[in-house]
Chain A
Amino acid sequence: MIVLILGGLFFVLRPESPSGVPQDRTFDVSIEGGEMSPAEISVNEGDSVTLRVSPDEPMELHLHGYDVEQEVEPDQKARLRFEADLTGRFEIEDHESERELGVLQVRPR
């Protein structure tokens, strides 16, 4: 009885999984005064992500967890490419100052 109620409730509440197939996602990201804009990038598991980064000063970007590193410079749209295969919340930081610039959020399917 209780198993039935809880099981039924689970399937009623559980939403459709976000768009079945992995997509190519591209984001334009600017960095000013140590703040990324947008501050949070949200993608789904399996997406191919490209970040086009324009910072206000030269720095070395580091995406935690994925261990992607990329030197970026002003007036030069550097590209950060990776497959979003790890789910969770990952910090994007300036590798030298180890300052958090923003967050990548990868939602599971």
Chain B
Amino acid sequence: MRRVAAAALAFLFVLADGRPALAHGFGPTYDIPIPLWLYLYGAAAAVVLAFVPLALFSRKERDAAYRYPRFDLFRVRLLRKILTSRLLTGGLRLLSVTLFFVVVIAGLVGLQSGFNIAPTFVWVTWWVGLSFFTASVGNLWPLVNPWGVIFDWAEGLVRRFGFRDGLELDERYPEALGIWPAVGLYLVFIWIENVFSGSYVPRNIALFALAYTLITLYGMAFFGKETWLRRGEAFSVFFGLLGRFAPTEVRVKDPDVCPGCDGCDDDARGRCVNCYECFTRAAPDERELNLRPPAVGLGLPEKVPPGGAAFVIVVLAGVTFDGLLQTPLWLEIVRLTPVTQTLGTILLPLLFFGIYLGFVELSRILGGERGFRRFAAAYAFSLVPIAIAYQMAHYYTYLLIQGQMIMSLVSDPLGWGWNLFGTADFEPRYGIVGAGFVWYSQVALIVAGHVIAVYLAHSISLRLLRDPVRAFRSQLPMLVLMVLYTITSLWILAQPIVK
């Protein structure tokens, strides 16, 4: 195992060409860095506003995390009919698998430079677009995950031909491994996105997608579909994390289906929130699809598997790394030290993790409670809103402008001069949002994410410490950590763009 890891690492270093050039799957940025005064203003606002959530609540309730207003969309007859119709769910699944094959085929046989649907669809529509959708609407990935759908179809086919056991071998998954496979795969993905210089060459995208397909199908067959999707499929874990922020949740009323499900938490005492496996198993009238306040899902006391906190930190660091690569500071670091882009992909999460654990330990000492691991696992989620806000601030103009390219690309996915839907000549519109609006919205987003994060951390500390005074004390280090992370995010947006 260690040898495999060493070999993989060596392979990564060989691939890294160390060019500081911007290796990114996206087109040019149209944003101007935020001006210094606005950066300072945002930083000041982050510090001032950090104390608002603390002042707002100092109640102590055992179950506070589960008490939030909800509205079950399934209670509206029409919505229920539409949302549960096989036409919609089956259609989305079919669409997802179709798009997956279109991307792979376009990558393999389509035009390699210029017009090709693969880079824009994967990096803009899917990666940025679906992330935004998941965080701001809800997590569709468990429904449309193309590897899950393909596996289901294959399984159905195999059973129809009389193989009762289906495709799953159901080998025992080593529990100590937790979600570390997903952490590793996600790191590789971040490396491809930010460092690998061929990340927007269509053929590379197709080859990476096929390799990942092999890994995922094999993992699902070997350990069972549910187990692998929960622990090894990086995107299921990633979108699941964003889905905790989303203003919607799936919920099972009657937890009879839950025993034995490793997604449900023992601590939840008969509640089953955002466990898609249970949701699928439950009888239709036991299901709820709730609207809820955003971000409350990150404060729920769900079970965190080994590697859970590490995954969150890798996501946080990855988001920052993406922006950091375009700053003059990073160019200097690459010039003056032996740190390459590839090394940075690994070092930055380690640095983040070290800083995070340090602050958690401080918080724990001030709170006067034992159980470092429990603290480290729980607090990681409270930082997610800052990362989501930063990601949105950083990318929403990309999505608005580069995202329009998909209009023409669907008509000519391979670059062969087709015009399937008559939109091949669509010209993207620039200047939908002015630079001034972009500045203010970026700062507002980041500061809002910061306030939510402080609120979450405080409610998590109330849950862990069960005492408002100690919780307040334990929050001071977390406040500092969050102000630091927020100011770093703002700072990156204020940096001049290097070519």
Contacts and interface: CB of A to CB of B under 8 A. Distances in A.
B32 A105 contact: yes
B431 interface: yes
Given A10-B41, A13-B41, A87 B28 contact: no
Interface string B248-271: 000000000000000000000000
B435 A106 contact: yes
A20 B438 CA distance: 21
Contacts of A13: 37-38, 40-41
A107 B48 contact: no
B19 to A, nearest CB: 16
Interface of B: 28-32, 35, 37-38, 40-41, 44-45, 48-49, 52, 430-431, 434-436, 438-439, 497, 499
- Main SS of chain B's interface residues? helix
Nearest to A91: B28
Interface in A63-109: 64-66, 85-91, 100, 105-109
A6 B431 contact: no
B48 A100 contact: no
Interface of A: 2, 5-6, 9-10, 13-15, 45, 64-66, 85-91, 100, 105-109
23 contacts: A2-B49, A2-B52, A6-B45, A6-B48, A9-B41, A13-B40, A14-B41, A45-B434, A65-B430, A65-B431, A86-B434, A88-B434, A88-B438, A89-B28, A89-B29, A89-B435, A90-B430, A91-B28, A106-B435, A107-B32, A107-B435, A108-B434, A108-B435
A9 B431 CA distance: 29
Contact of A15 (B37, B45, B430, B439): B37
A2 B48 contact: yes
Contacts of B430: 64-66, 86, 88, 90
A89 B32 contact: yes
A90 B29 CA distance: 8
Given A2-B49, A86-B434, A88-B434, 11 more contacts: A2-B48, A2-B52, A5-B48, A10-B41, A14-B41, A65-B30, A87-B436, A88-B30, A89-B30, A89-B435, A108-B439
A15 B38 CA distance: 10
A87 B41 contact: no
A43 B41 CA distance: 24
A105 B35 CA distance: 13
Contacts of B37: 13-15
A65 to B, nearest CB: 4
Contacts of A64: 28, 430
Contacts of B48: 2, 5-6
